[in-house]
Amino acid sequence: MGWLRRWFSRAAPVPELTPEMRRRIRHSFDKAAADEEHFPSTIDPRIAHVRLILKQLSEIETGAVLDAGCGKGRFARVVAEQIPELRVVGMDISTAMLGYVPAPVRRCAGSLTSLPFASASFGGAYATESLEHAVDIEAAVAELCRVVKPGGRIVVIDKNAEHWGKLETPEWERWFGRREMEAMLGRQCRKVSSQFISYWEDVEPDGMFLAWIAEK
């Protein structure tokens, strides 16, 4: 674990999460909300990322699930359609992004590092390419675990730190390693696993994306 932290600190120095930094992140996503090409409001439900989330959430019989950092709600709308017995809550730092989230998804503005929900509020939670924008990743993971009930499911899908530098990123963005995220989830979850994932199930993963699955 130590070598990964040392490598990562060289590859992607992360600024402190100050109120000013949070404001800049919010402004960036408010501005990006109009960009449908790079920030689409829909997603093909056949994509492997979606199918993995649906599979994990299907284990939850009733109750609420959280899309943490939902953006325009492209995953949340599929979950709401495919598993209508679940109440889906979409939370994002950008109110402009939330303006695209459709009913019956419930919208809520908030921060990944300080979720505006009581502990054990959800039967499950997922974060798809959103934790990379949290800056304080450990705080965001702790918050995800806090709001999920014992026995609930948590899914994180994000980019692999070993591929850092292959894409242009904003100054605050941080990717994390496979074992690093396993360790963070493992502090509060009894079961944690991870796997490489591609967009399509019939395409071999290239290592860019990882999926972490945890049971509280």
Choose among 132, 111, 122: nearest CA to 56. 122
Cα torsion angle, 211, 74, 69, 86, sign: negative
- CA 25/CA 113 separation, integer angstroms: 13
- What integer pLDDT is reported at residue 8 of this predicted model? 42
Q: Parse the chain into domains and list their residue ranges.
A: 2-215
- What integer pLDDT is reported at residue 62 of this predicted model? 82
- What integer pLDDT is reported at residue 15 of this predicted model? 76
- What integer pLDDT is reported at residue 1 of this predicted model? 44
- What integer pLDDT is reported at residue 59 of this predicted model? 87
Residue 48 in contact with residue 200, Cβ under 8 Å?
yes
- Looking only at the bridges linking them, the beta strands covering 122-128 and 148-159 are parallel
Tokens of 101: 């989230």
Q: What is the mean pLDDT of each run of 10 residues along the chain (216 residues)?
A: 41 76 97 96 97 95 94 98 96 98 97 98 98 97 98 97 94 95 98 97 95 98
Beta strands in 53-188 (DSSP E): 63-68, 86-92, 106-109, 122-128, 148-159
pTM: 0.93
Choose among 155, 161, 189: nearest CA to 174. 161
Task: Provide the CATH topology of domain 2-215.
Answer: Rossmann fold (3.40.50)
